[in-house]
Structure 1
Amino acid sequence: MDFSLYTHELIVLMTAMVIALLSPGPDFAMVFKQSITYGRRASIFTSIGIGLGISVHVIYCILGIGLIISKSIILFNIIKYLGAAYLIYLGIMSLKSKGFKIDKNNIKYDKNMSDFKSFMVGFLCNALNPKATLFFLSMFTVVISIDTPIFIQAIYGLLCMLLTTIYFIIASLFLTKDSVREFFNKFGVWFDRAVGAVLISLGIKIALSK
């Protein structure tokens, strides 16, 4: 098999993926909050969750369900409202927060945020993100040919997952630097409220989008 035939698809997909990652959205807001609030370990697990959350979009696109969703307003609206509700819920929780203290040595973390919970926060944030749904639907219906073998499409998906995970882990490492954390330590309550407002705004925007 001549893999060079799929080079163009891969280049377009990876370019679009990088642009999408650089555009601030729910995933970045979540990693930002996890990094500052709970520390490096929680943020890294959240980053891994976001990366693996992409598998949900890739799987339904490969199975052809993506095409069905793109043609069904009802199914897409269900996904949209679930994602919007989840973001609004997270935002409300942030608004109710009484602030936090950051451990400068990156040793102690909030016991309420286990590794599994951190992972699931990231996984659900991406899996229920309508922006991610729209992105992968467009990629798998416009950029990627229907004749592209399933295992090649799976490789595309794995590369997207890997790129996303690496990007957010790097972001986590930066956001958990002592200088960054000390700054946010002085404005913990206001930071949580600001992030909460952003998450709620994103949720409302998604819910009202057409």
Structure 2
Amino acid sequence: MEYLNEFMTIALVHLVAVASPGPDFAVVVRNSVAYGRRIAIYTSLGIGLAILLHVAYSLVGLSVLIATTPWLYTVFSYAAAAYLLYLAVGALRSGPTPSQPQDTVSDVSMISPSKAFGIGFLTNGLNPKATLFFLSLFTAIIDAETPQTVKLAYGLYLALATALWFCFLSYLLSTSRVARLIGEKGYWLDRLMGLLLLGLAAKLVID
């Protein structure tokens, strides 16, 4: 109960952050539309695990180093932008495919679960905005006197909540009603996510 107020604040801030459109949202929507629910869920799990990466370096103070060292932050930003650009190009090249049920995408176009997991992990892990989010979280919201074990528990919650949110999004996008709505024109949504990823990559470079 001692840390309940702190936890509630963290949960609320995280809810707002995770629900906002960004690279994670774009790749989950893209993979759900292009490859189906199963691949999108693996992508979501990769995103959730990457949260623990941010938590780990925040606990040891590396987030402060990254955020306050201009050249290091620049390198990090350009690496993230390059990866988002790579994903954007793949999404923008999407075209019509023969009509088939969700989650039964042809083997030719399907990616492996491990690749989907890696896409999710790298998308979140390389995102400098996530670095800044956890920097502010562990310096401005979480009290310096809060024990490391409690901070770790916060981190585990954030990872689990993130994975569950994107798994829910994956499920929602692959329900029969949404699948019918997307129908044969789903590649346009794929391309739209490509444009979003392209814009996010450009924003990282410009910022």
TMscore range, shorter length: over 0.9
Q: Is the 8 A contact 2:30 2:91 kept in 1?
A: no
Q: How does 1:108-147 map to 2 (within 5 A)?
A: 108=105, 110=107, 112-147=110-145
How far the C-alpha of 1:127 sits from its partner, in A, is 0.5
Which residue of structure 2 aligns with residue 14 of structure 1?
11
How far the C-alpha of 1:196 sits from its partner, in A, is 1.3
How far the C-alpha of 1:184 sits from its partner, in A, is 2.2
Which residue of structure 1 aligns with residue 100 of structure 2?
103
**In structure 2, do the counterparts of structure 1 residues 137 and 101 end up closer, same or farther at CA, with 3 Å as the change threshold?**
farther
Distance in 2 (CA, whole Å) between partners of 1:186 and 1:103 is: 9
Q: How does 1:1-210 map to 2 (within 5 A)?
A: 4-101=1-98, 103-104=100-101, 106-108=103-105, 110=107, 112-209=110-207
Which amino acid in the other structure matches residue 70 of structure 1?
A
Distance in 1 (CA, whole Å) between partners of 2:106 and 2:146 is: 45
**In structure 2, do the counterparts of structure 1 residues 45 and 200 end up closer, same or farther at CA, with 3 Å as the change threshold?**
same
**In structure 2, do the counterparts of structure 1 residues 49 and 97 end up closer, same or farther at CA, with 3 Å as the change threshold?**
same
Aligned length: 206
Q: Is the 8 A contact 2:43 2:121 kept in 1?
A: yes
| TM-score calculated relative to the size of structure 2 | 0.92
Which amino acid in the other structure matches residue 92 of structure 2?
L
More moved, 4-13 vs 169-178: 4-13
Cα deviation code 1:135-158 (max 9, x no counterpart): 111001111122221111110100
Over the aligned positions, Cα root-mean-square deviation in angstroms equals: 1.7
Q: Is the 8 A contact 1:102 1:182 kept in 2?
A: no
Distance in 1 (CA, whole Å) between partners of 2:182 and 2:174 is: 10
Distance in 2 (CA, whole Å) between partners of 1:94 and 1:176 is: 18
Cα deviation code 1:74-124 (max 9, x no counterpart): 222222111111111110111223344463163445454101001011111
Which amino acid in the other structure matches residue 156 of structure 2?
L
Distance in 2 (CA, whole Å) between partners of 1:49 and 1:27 is: 10
Distance in 1 (CA, whole Å) between partners of 2:98 and 2:153 is: 41
**In structure 2, do the counterparts of structure 1 residues 185 and 23 end up closer, same or farther at CA, with 3 Å as the change threshold?**
same
Distance in 2 (CA, whole Å) between partners of 1:176 and 1:102 is: 14
How far the C-alpha of 1:177 sits from its partner, in A, is 1.1
Gaps of 5+ in 1: none
| TM-score calculated relative to the size of structure 1 | 0.91
Distance in 2 (CA, whole Å) between partners of 1:57 and 1:102 is: 40
SS at match of 1:36: helix
